[in-house]
Amino acid sequence: MAVDKVAILTAGGLAPCLSSTIGRLIVQYTKLVPDVEIIGYLNGYKGLLEGNSISIPDNVRTSAELLYKFGGSVLGNSRVKLTNVDDCVKKGYVKKGENPLEVAAAQLTKDGITILHTIGGDDTNTTAAELASYLALNGYNLTVVGIPKTIDNDVTPIRQSLGAWTAAEQGAIFFENVANENTTSSRQLIVHEVMGRNCGWLTAATAYEYRKRLEKKAFLPDIRLSKERWDIDAVYIPEIPLDLSKEMERLVQLMDEKDCINIFLSEGAGIETIVAEMESKGEDVRRDAFGHVRLDELNPGQWFARKFTKLLRADKTLVQKSGYFARSSAPNDRDLELIMASADLAVKVALNGQSGVIGQDEDENGKLGIINFSRIKGGKPFDIKQEWFQSLLKEIGQIR
């Protein structure tokens, strides 16, 4: 197909893949169609609505591999739902009476965009699908190819979202330092709050990575440097109901034995209970443009810590969140390999005029391919029956 102009945007929260994916897309387009113009919309759909973009100059195109080594998004992000008209008006992205889809479509038309790459989670890519559908109904042919990123790893039917492996590894590195806080007090409770709204994959994977790293360390128990004190005692995720009385009986015994407790907590665990409690007190529960509760303002870790501190008779309690540390990292080698393969395929299918989302399709045994937008859904639960996770729970004594 004749390609006039390619646009790239990133949206949603950060993940360790955004800048590197942008870099790989630039590298591939420069290699395959060196004359094509590439622009980036700044701060996601916000930039598209406002017509705020930058052209990718030649010196960037020849050095785009440098982006592989950086986290964040060089184009910037935002949380904008084009079909949430009231929110777009409230934030000043469109004027009252305007349809954000129309405004976005008009901007793409004005800019002469024929290929749009959206790098984001399920919300980002379903928004892209809505935009492409709107344009098609209005006679404008736009190829939209999404690339899935989310550290939650909760997009259906995609086996592995970009950046999730790295986020788990970085969360483990984060807790390697935090775990040393167990030496600051007797009966110490440490709650490691990990990102993950409805899916416990990241918390589980972070715990798994941490324990793998722990296995490589040497300990000296005779001077209170025992592996048990640095190990994880509980992993709480949305997919597993918490029997508080049963857990307290187990954890109190552990606290008495080793003088500290380390808990890995998914920020989405117990959210319904926390929200219900807040609303019953008349407290405001803030939500984003997509209707999601703002978990960073809810502080689930603090809520659990207050309850556990009393029950465990903890002398000191520490709640630490690894989310921003983990999600803002550059990708590790394993993720970068998947990022490059995904971006390469995204360019290939885009040049063939195919729209969809690139991902490891679970219905095709994890084969990397292009997935129809209609199949993309968020909130995929973590499969707790996986052998590695069941083994972890047994090893830490959470299940028998």
Count CA atoms within 13 Å of residue 274 on its CB side. 22
Give the number of other CB atoms < 10 A from CB of residue 163. 31
CA distance to 47, 119, 151, 222, per residue, from 11 (Å): 10, 7, 13, 51
Predicted model pTM = 0.93
Q: For the domain that residue 137 is a member of, what is the CATH number? A: 3.40.50.450
Which band of pLDDT confidence, cut at 50, 70 and 90, is reported for residue 289? low
User: Domain limits at 318?
Assistant: 166-326
Start-to-end C-alpha separation, the chain: 59
| pLDDT tens by residue, 251-268 | 999 999 999 999 999 998
pLDDT at site 290: 66
Instruction: Identify whether residues 70 and 178 lie together within a single domain.
Output: no
Residue 48 scores a pLDDT above 80: yes
| pLDDT tens by residue, 82-108 | 989 999 999 999 999 999 999 999 999
Instruction: Identify whether residues 215 and 256 lie together within a single domain.
Output: yes
pLDDT at site 296: 67
pLDDT, mean of residues 316-325: 97
Number of H helices, E strands in the chain: 16, 11
Residue 330 scores a pLDDT above 90: yes
Residue count (the chain): 400
Instruction: Identify whether residues 271 and 138 lie together within a single domain.
Output: no
Cis peptide bond prior to 381, omega within 30° of 0 = no
With residues binned 3-state (H G I as helix, E B as strand, rest as coil), the percentages for the chain, rounded to 5, are 45, 15, 35
Q: For the domain that residue 226 is a member of, what is the CATH number? A: 3.40.50.460
Domain count, the chain: 2
152 is catalytic: yes
| pLDDT tens by residue, 144-164 | 999 999 999 999 999 999 999
Residue 380 placed within a domain: no
3 state SS for 7-26: EEEECCCCCCCHHHHHHHHH
Residue 346 scores a pLDDT above 70: yes
Instruction: Identify whether residues 27 and 128 lie together within a single domain.
Output: yes
CA-to-CA distance for 171 and 166, rounded, in angstroms? Answer: 8
Residue 386 placed within a domain: no
Instruction: Identify whether residues 175 and 321 lie together within a single domain.
Output: yes
Residue 69 placed within a domain: yes
Tell me if 152 sits within 8 A of 167, measured CB to CB: no
pLDDT at site 242: 86
Query: Tokens 């465990």 correspond to what residue?
Result: 312
- Active-site option among 152, 154, 233, 361: 152
Residue 264 placed within a domain: yes
Structure tokens at 163: 């950046």
Residue 105 placed within a domain: yes
Kindly provide the b/e burial profile for residues 230-265, where b requires at least 16 CB atoms within 10 angstroms of the residue's own CB: bbbbbbbbbbbeeeeeebeeebeebbeebbbbbbbb
What average pLDDT is seen over the chain? Answer: 93
pLDDT, mean of residues 70-74: 98
Instruction: Identify whether residues 258 and 348 lie together within a single domain.
Output: no
Residue 274 placed within a domain: yes
Which band of pLDDT confidence, cut at 50, 70 and 90, is reported for residue 212? very high
Residue 272 placed within a domain: yes
Instruction: Identify whether residues 24 and 151 lie together within a single domain.
Output: yes
Residue 384 placed within a domain: no
